[in-house]
Amino acid sequence: MRKLGLAILVVLVLGVLAAWTMLFTVSEREYAIVTRFGRRVQTIDQAGLYVKWGSLCDTVIRIDKRLAVFQTRPIELLLGDQNPIILTCYVCWQVKDPVAFYSSLMTPENANVKLRDMVQSSLGAVLSDHQLQDVINVDANQVGLRRIESDALADFEAKAAKEYGISVRQLGIRRIAYPPMVTQAVHNRMRSEREKEAKKYRGEGRQLAAKIEGETDKQFAEIIAEANRKAEIIKGEGDKEASRVYAEAYSKDREFFEFLRSLEAYQEILASQATIVLSTKSRLFKYLVPDESRPAASQPGSPSRSVR
């Protein structure tokens, strides 16, 4: 009874020890390569529990299969039209062939360094086929960044996949910058464009204001003219009415009217400055110079005519 218990204990301890050295797990985030005395015997790309020979002869190498991202350093490249441009880009990649990756690169860290150089050369090659208007364009449909990126990705992956066992999942421009000289030139151009625009708006303002002013002048004159016209019409109505009133009254005795009107007219004509020469034969002086021979029925003569 006691021996049996002891035996169970020993088997249990040995079992745990064996499990400890012979079993290993592979997680979802890695590949595993099992090497025996340095020779590769197994490549595992599924997560789970695996068996190896003891720790002394088998070694498990774990290779991260997760998506990695790195960013290139800013590099100055020449576009096809000789415009210099500074670019950085990001690359998302992951290990697809752990054996190739393991035998060529070893670690993700130095992988990033090696891949970085390759991306830069790919990007440089692709960009030399493009002009600035393919990178930026006022027409969004003409922007060729997507094609530049996919071309660079294809070029890069053709080299990297074969040699390093990786798959490039995405390559994208991360930053566009200009060399200081170009930045300066762009700033200057922006300034002058804005100046032009500001001038344009102020000019338009002045023009519109002048137009309004002109219209105002015209409307002003129109209003005054219209008022004057109305005033003349009103006065005309007054004159017409006055004429009617006069005519109505005067038509009662035209002769008497003419007589009175003539007297009034003479009165105005013979102002105080006039010089009047009167004949003694004038009817006025009928009683001044008694003369029977003069015809009594002579017309009421005008007091001669005036000479200024």
Partner 1 sequence: MIGESLQRALGASRRLVGWIVLAGVVLYGLSGIYSVKPDEVAVHQRFGRIVDARVPSGIHYALPWPIDRVNKVPILKVHRLVIDDFQAGDDPGSAAGLFRMISQLHSFCVTGDNNVVNVGCAVQYMISDPAAFLFHTMAPEAILRAVACNSLIHCLAGMKVDHALTMGNQQIKAYVHSEMNRRLDALGVGLVVAVVDLIPLRPPQEVRSYFDDVVNSKIDKRKMVNQAEADRNERLSRARVEATRVENQALGAKATTIEQARGKASRFVQRLSEYRKAPDVTRRRLWLEFVRDVLGKVRRKYVVEADDRGPAAGVRIVTP
84 touches partner 1 by CB under 8 A: no
Q: How many residues bind partner 1 (CB under 8 A)?
A: 122
Q: Answer yes or no whether residue 209 interacts with partner 1 by CB under 8 A.
A: yes
Q: Does 280 bind partner 1 (CB under 8 A)?
A: yes
Interface positions, 152-181, toward partner 1 (CB under 8 A): 169-170, 172-180
**Could you tell me which of 14, 13, 20, 24 has the C-alpha nearest to residue 51?**
24
274 forms part of the interface with partner 1 (CB under 8 A): yes
User: Tokens 């990297």 — which residue?
Assistant: 160
The reply on whether position 137 binds partner 1 by CB under 8 A is yes
CB 110 within 8 A of CB 198: no
113 near partner 1, judged by CB under 8 A: no
In the complex, minimum distance from the CB of residue 75 to partner 1, in angstroms, rounded to a whole number: 10
CA distance 100 to 109: 16
Q: Does the footprint of partner 1 cover residue 266 (CB under 8 A)?
A: yes
Residues 6+ apart with CB under 8 A from 205: none
258 scored as a contact of partner 1 (CB under 8 A): no
Q: Is 49 in the site for partner 1 (CB under 8 A)?
A: yes
Q: Are 98 and 34 in contact (CB under 8 A)?
A: no
H or E element, residue 49: strand 48-51
204 interacts with partner 1 by CB under 8 A: yes
Question: Which span (7-15, 96-104, 153-161, 200-208) binds partner 1, by CB under 8 A?
Answer: 200-208
